[in-house]
Amino acid sequence: MQIGKDKPDFDIVINGTAIPSSDTMKYLGVSIDSSLSWDNHIHKIVRKANRQLGMLKRHISLASSQTKLLAFNSIVRTTLEYACQVWSPHKVGLSKLIDNVQRRAVRWIYRLPKICSVTECMCDNGIVSFSLRRIHLDEKFLRKAEAKHYKIDLRDYIGINTHHNTRHKTVDTHHRLNQAKYSYYNRVRKLVNIHFDPSNPSTD
């Protein structure tokens, strides 16, 4: 993966064969490109989710709505939510692209005629859109980090206000790039609920 605009001025050679450079790489199931844009990753998982949904339609089309919903949540939803704290999109178009997979699935699961509203069906059956689920998953991860379920010190990623007489627990920072502005820790910064002892910055 190339970091920055300039390509490296050296080649990596194994057994006399140069390894081609690439602007993208896959790490722990997440596709990362040199600009830290998640467009490529999101398009990939949407294509995969659509293939999975197509497979379900071919194999369990006669199953009950409950069975089809369970299969969708177990197979397709997990594809569209894996590591979403990392790549959650701020672009409306990308968010709709993901939600559209769910909407097509709901129409199939409940055998909705074209004239019926998918939104109403989701509301009636307690189905939350992926956009709202990602917000919930963001907060869930944050609460686990605050409770020390992970080896993460939030103060390494979020500026904590050390003044007593203030309403704000976190420090606002300006970010020039959207990659930083819409990153996970900036999305959840206002939700942080950790206690900071100014007399002992290392105190948990």
Distance (Å, whole) CA 127 – CA 121: 8
Q: What is the pLDDT of residue 5?
A: 53
**Cα angle 42, 47, 53; round to 5:** 120
Task: Say what the pLDDT of residue 1 is.
Answer: 44
Specify the 3-state DSSP secondary structure of 16.
coil
Full-model pTM: 0.81
Selection from 172, 164, 173 nearest residue 195 by Cα:
164
Per-residue pLDDT of 57-105, as tens digits, reads 999 999 999 999 999 999 999 999 999 999 999 999 999 999 999 999 9
Contact 84, 46 (CB under 8 A): no
Residues 181 and 175: beta-carbon distance below 8 Å: yes
Give the domain ranges of the chain.
32-131, 153-191
Task: List all residues 6 or more positions away from 50 whose beta carbon is below 8 Å from its beta carbon.
Answer: 101
- What's the pLDDT score for residue 197? 47
User: What is the predicted pLDDT for the residue at 167?
Assistant: 56
Higher-confidence residue of 52 and 3: namely 52
